[in-house]
Each structure stands twice: as structure tokens, then as C-alpha cells.
Amino acid sequence: MSRSRVSPGVAYLTRGLLSVIFPTASSVIIVGRLACLQGFSVSPWLLSAMTLGAVPLGFAAYVFVDEISQRRKATRLGARLVPRIQGKWPGNLDKLVNVILTLEVEYLGQPNSGPTLNYRCLWEDYIVTTEPQHVKTILVTDFHNYVKGAKFREAADSILGTGVFNSDGNLRRAFRLHRTMTRPFFTHDRISHFEIFDRHANRAIALAKDRFRMDLAIDFQDLISRFTLDSASEFLFGDCIDSLSVELPFPDNTLQSTNSKPRPGDNAAAFTNAFSQAQHAISRRVIIGAAWPMTEILADSTAQHMKVVDKFLDPILEAALRRHSTAAKSDADETAEDQTFLDHLVKLTSDFKIVKDETLNILLAGRDTTASTLTSAIYLLAMHPEILSRLREEIISKVGPTRMPTYGDIKEMKYIQAVLNETMRLFPAV
Ligand SMILES: *[C@@H]1O[C@H](CO)[C@@H](O)[C@H](O)[C@H]1NC(C)=O
């Protein structure tokens, strides 16, 4: 599928030009004309200089007026404005650069002065809160009032498209459509079939054990992300991405680390990497705010990554659509039980883009949440060995050392549920 050719930066500048320069230029020209009528001579150079000069002035005026109206509104509501961080550079540009640089190595949202802060990068409010009551209001009690909004949709569009992750609850029709499309697939019966997960889990554990025998540490988050990617892809579209087939990274301080670079042409490694990089680009865009396209003048920063994702995904989706249209002719399709999420989806629509967006969204939802929660759980268990041994006791007594757990087992294992609940309370994935 072709993606738009114009880079986000060029599109943004064009829009900006139309909405800022034109009105400014026309007013400057009108003033110039009037001056001419009065007998003054005005050179075109002066007019151009005035136009260019008027743009930042106009923006400053806009920021100023907006500021006053916010203060008025706050006073009227008896509210207090969220405290702003004070950077050294105009528009808090120094803070913005800092946030982007530390994004990869630190947690976002650990304000160092108070639970709620306005980063206000490039004169655009960017409010971060860790106050539980606020989070509850946003995610639960007043959810419909906190839409993702046009800004997030624009930043994520090149990856999530029109899928369920990128739609707002208050766009009711769209949201219901997503739910009615995706939900019926996730029946009790289907989610209680653990075979796929068990098989990939065993494989992941075997890889970890290999390394432990060599007395080497593993990157658990990397390992478990591959487990969730492989099991989610097999569960959703019947084709496993097989990222567990790529050699695990070695710790930096070992001999092996120097010669364990991923081999070129390795599809699984390429897909995994591209998918993560594309997601990373979305967070970077959201953090920069409305002006993010200015950092992507030459090209869409997600384009090369999405090309890799497309190369893997498109043939699978096309095959599913083809299978469905052949089966539909023989009438066998309607009654057959859907094997995968994809089989289910192609019965509802033959629109390639919808199928693709929906699949990518669910893949993202199923993968990162699980990987993140399991990583946090292992981290916490490593810090609390007494909890780990109690958990192990429950598992050994209910399931034993080798058997695959059943849905019934899981329902009865209250301790593992409590451990996961507590993990999700401390490190919520969504
Ligand atoms: C874990 O959380 C779920 C959902 O809130 C709840 O239904 C369940 O009872 C909790 N389990 C335990 C053992 O706390």
C-alpha cells in the first residue's frame, strides 16, 4: 500500500504558510496599498520584510492573549493553573530536548516537583500527572471527556491508522464499530486455549535456561517481548513472527557480545525492530507536540519502519482476504469457525486498510501490555524473594512442575492473580 509522499514537515509548513503567512501578507499589502493611495511610496522589499516580521509578532500576540484567557477562565472556575516548569530557553526548548534524549533510558512522568506539572513545550500545554485521583478521573469516571484528540491521531496515523487504539470513545459510532468487529472473536473458549502460549513460553524459557547454564544474564524484557510478539501473531493471524528464532543479545561485558549483531536479512529481527522504532516515533511526536512535523521535513520518520512492517504483514493479510473470497464462493465460509482473528476480520470487511489497521492495533495491544506487565512482575519478584517462593509453592501444588495450566487452574490460583494485580497497580501498562 502506498503511503503519502509529502513529508509531514512539508505538509505542516504548507498548512502554516496558508494559515499564517497569507492573512499576514494580505493585511500588510492592504496597509501598503493604503499608504500608496496616500502618496507614500512603499517598496516591495519593505512589504516582504514586514510580512516576515509580522509572523513571530502575530504568534507572540496569540500566546499572550491565550495566556490571559486561561487565567480568566481559571479565576471564573475558582481553579488554579497547573504549575509550569521553567526552562532556560524560550519555549522550554532545553527541557524538550532533554525529555527526548532521556526518553529511552528513563520513565516518563516522574515530575520532580509536585504530582502535576505543565511542561509547556513550544508554548503548547503538555501536562503530566501522577496524582491517582486525576488518573482515575481521566481513565474511569470522566473518560469520555478526555479524548485522544486530533493531535494524537495525527502523530499516530502513519502507524495505527484508523484502528481501535487511535479512535476516541466519544466518536461513538467509530468506537462501537471497532468493538463489534473485534470483540466477538475473543470468546471465553478462545482465550482459554493456552496451547499457543504454552508452546512459545516453553521455547522462551528454554532459551533463558541455555544462557543460565553459560552463567550469563539475560535481558528479560527483550525475551518476553519476543514471546508475546510470537504468540500474539500466531493467535491473531496464524503466522508466527518467530522472533524467538533470533539469537538473544549477550550482556555487553562478555566476549560473545561483540559478534552477536543481528544478521542482515533476518525478517523476525527486522520486524521486531521496525515495530518498536515506529512506536517510539509516535511517543517522540506526542512529546514534541503540534510542531513535531518540523522535525520531519525530509521524510516521515515512521516510513522506513512501516515499510518493513508492511513487507511482513501485507502478504499475510492479502492471503487471508484471498482465502475468504474463494471460500465465500463455495459457501463454506459462513459456517466454518474462524481459526484466527484475521479470518474473523475478513468476513466483516474486504477493505484492506481497515483489516490492516485493526490487526496492527490489536497486535500492539496484545503485545506490549503483556510484555510490560510480565517484565514488571519479574522485576518485583526478584526484589521480593519471599513472595516468589510463596508463588512458586502455589504453582507447584496446583499445576506441578511440568504440566500446562488449564483455565480452571488459573481461576483457582488466587496468589498468582494477586501478584499480577499488584504488579499492574504499581506499573500499569495502559
Ligand atoms: C484481581 O483483580 C481483578 C480485577 O480487578 C479482580 O476481579 C480479582 O478479584 C483480583 N484478584 C485478587 C486475588 O485480588
Do 75 and 192 lie in one domain? The reply is: no
- Give per-residue pLDDT as tens, 269-301: 788 888 888 888 888 888 787 788 888 888 888
- Give per-residue pLDDT as tens, 375-427: 999 999 999 999 999 999 999 999 999 899 988 898 999 999 999 999 999 98
- Answer for the pair 72, 260: CB distance below 8 angstroms, yes or no: no
Q: Is 124 within a domain?
A: no
C-alpha to C-alpha distances, 270 to 30, 152, 250, 282, 358, nearest whole angstrom = 56, 26, 18, 19, 21
User: How many angstroms separate the CA atoms of 377 and 155, rounded?
Assistant: 31
Give me the torsion for CA of 8, 287, 119, 76, rounded to 10°: 70
Q: What 3-state DSSP class applies to 90?
A: helix
Q: List the residue whose alpha carbon is closest to atom 2 of ligand 1.
A: 421
Q: Is 418 within a domain?
A: no
> Where is 116: in which H helix or E strand?
strand 116-118
Do 76 and 198 lie in one domain? The reply is: no
Q: Is 61 within a domain?
A: yes
Cell of 13: 509548513
Residue 420 alpha carbon, nearest atom of ligand 1: 1
Q: List the residue whose alpha carbon is closest to atom 5 of ligand 1.
A: 421
Q: Which of 383, 398, 417 represents a domain boundary (last residue)?
A: 383
Mean pLDDT of the 133-153 span: 84
**How many residues are there in the chain?**
430
Q: Which of 40, 65, 81 represents a domain boundary (last residue)?
A: 81
Report the domain count for the chain: 2
Query: pLDDT-based confidence at 1, cuts 50/70/90?
Result: very low
Do 191 and 323 lie in one domain? The reply is: yes
Q: Is 131 within a domain?
A: no
Q: Is 104 within a domain?
A: no
Q: What is the domain extent for residue 56?
A: 1-81
Q: Is 298 within a domain?
A: yes
CATH number of the structural domain spanning residue 354: 1.10.630.10
Instruction: Find out whether the beta carbon of 418 lies less than 6 Å from any atom of ligand 1.
Output: yes
Q: Is 258 within a domain?
A: yes
Whole-number pLDDT of residue 154: 78
Residue 417 alpha carbon, nearest atom of ligand 1: 13
Do 73 and 220 lie in one domain? The reply is: no
Instruction: Find out whether the beta carbon of 417 lies less than 6 Å from any atom of ligand 1.
Output: yes
In angstroms, what is the span from residue 422 Cα to ligand 1's centroid? 9
Do 249 and 367 lie in one domain? The reply is: yes
- Give per-residue pLDDT as tens, 80-115: 999 888 888 888 888 888 877 877 676 655 555 678
Q: What is the pTM of this model?
A: 0.74
Do 75 and 190 lie in one domain? The reply is: no
The full DSSP string for 214-283 is TT----HHHHHHHHHHHHHHHHHHS----GGGSPPPPPTTSGGGGG-PPPTT-HHHHHHHHHHHHHHHHH
Do 373 and 228 lie in one domain? The reply is: yes
- Give per-residue pLDDT as tens, 304-348: 899 998 988 898 899 888 888 887 666 555 555 667 888 888 888
Q: Which of 59, 81, 103 represents a domain boundary (last residue)?
A: 81
Whole-number pLDDT of residue 170: 43
Mean pLDDT of the 241-249 span: 86
Q: List the residue whose alpha carbon is closest to atom 12 of ligand 1.
A: 418
- Give per-residue pLDDT as tens, 168-199: 554 445 556 666 777 777 777 777 678 889 99
Q: Is 292 within a domain?
A: yes
